[in-house]
Structures are given as C-alpha cells and as structure tokens.
Amino acid sequence: MSPSDDTTAHAAAGSGEETRTHAFYGRRKGKPLRVGQATAIADLLPRLAVDVTKAPIEPRALFAAPVDDVWVESGFGGGEHLIETATANPGLGFIGAEPFVNGMAKALVAIHEAELESRIRLHHADSVLLLDALAPASIGRFFLLYPDPWPKKRHWKRRFVDKDNLDRVARVLRSGGEFRFASDWAPYVDWTLKRVLEHPAFEWTARTADDWRKPWAGWPGTRYEEKAIREGRTPAYLVFRRV
C-alpha cells in the first residue's frame, strides 16, 4: 500500500477499518480520479455515508422518505447492479459497501446522474463493520456479486464467505430474506455452497440446475460478468433463504 492509499484507508468515513485484523479486499485505489469523481468523493459521499459508529442502525431510518424494505450490496464495484436494481425498485432503499476508491467514485457520479441520492446510502469500506452496526433482522436481501475469489491458498482467509461473515449476514436478514451470491470462479462457488449449506440459518432455494445456471429475475448484469463470459467462464447464481 502506498502512502496515499494508507491515508485514504484511514480516512474512510470514520469506519474504524484500521482496527481490523485482516481485510477481504486488496488495494483501495487505482488510477487517478477525474475531477468530477474527486468532487463526488469530497462532496456527495459524506452526505450518503452511513455512520457505523451509531449502532444499532435501523436501515429504514437512514432515508427521509418511507421505504418498503432495505437491501444491501457488499463490494458493488462500479455500482452497475446497485444503481440498476435501485432504479427498478422505486419503493426500496439500498446500502452499498465498497472499499475501492475508484469504484466508489464511479458509483457516486452515476447515483447523482440517476437522481438516486434519496434512496442509496454508502459505506466506504468492506461490509463487515456495516453488518455489525445494523439492527438484527433489519434487511430483506444481501448481495455478494463477483467477490474477489482469492484463488491462492495462502489468501483463502481473505474470502468474504466464512463462518463469521455468514453469522453476520444471518443476524441482519429477517426470516425469509435472501442472501444472493454470483461468481464465475467455480472453486469459490463450491466453497460458498459448502459453507452456506453447513450454516443452520440458510437454505438453498435451487430445485433444478437452471436455478443456479441462469440469473435470477431482474438481473441487470455487471461488467465482471461480461468479462467472465467473454473469457469463457460460466457464472453461477446462488440464492439462499434465511430460515
């Protein structure tokens, strides 16, 4: 991590990220931001940021106008799925978590252009502290889409799907809520399926092979998916229900 990246990491909206023993992401910053992106980080992000120090957070209270439910996306990349799903579901509120500065900046610009500031809130770090801050049984859906698979064995501890994080997701999902996972990395799909099926709080909703081979209804696609298909990898789409 460069000195500039270190400054960014410790300034992440009071996230307390520096207290973590390990992270589920790699670098936080890539190419220099364009002027509009830097302005969005400086001006819009503070207005949309969730203060995770004020736990327990009732997600619906984060929005000025009433929302029917709140969905959370962990590691939203450039925000394509987050924004398109919010656009398609005008009665819902959304919280997106993303540690990567360039992805957050891109999403902020798109959120402003789509006029979604009233229904999207953001956490500029990975989603662990956010999940810990949310009130129990307070969200209806949690998305983990194309997470970094950390393919090398020495990095497996960085994979987001583990017992502790599944406990976190289970705690904040209400009964009948869904954990939705997508990946093009077959070993990580197998890893996820094994660990979620071993967890007593979840059941897999698939009944036929097409239930995991085809995207769920309303899936808008992501740039990661486009790249995977272009390079010959087959994505999998897993839906688990909170029991």
**Rounded CA separation 177/154 (Å):** 33
Catalytic residue, chosen from 132, 148, 162, 211, is 148
**Rounded CA separation 91/133 (Å):** 23
What DSSP letter does each residue of 121-159 carry, written as one string?
EEESS-SHHHHHHBPTT-EEEEEEES-----SGGGGGG-
Contact 129, 72 (CB under 8 A): no
Question: What is the DSSP secondary structure assignment for residue 218, as one 8-state letter?
Answer: T
What DSSP letter does each residue of 12-76 carry, written as one string?
STT--GGG-S--S-S-S--SPPPHHHHHIIIIIHHHHB--TTSPSB-GGGGSSS--SEEEEEES-
Q: E strand or H helix at 196, and its extent?
A: helix 186-198
Name residue 133's amino acid. Answer: A
Q: Is 68 a catalytic residue?
A: no
Q: What is the set of active-site residues?
A: 148
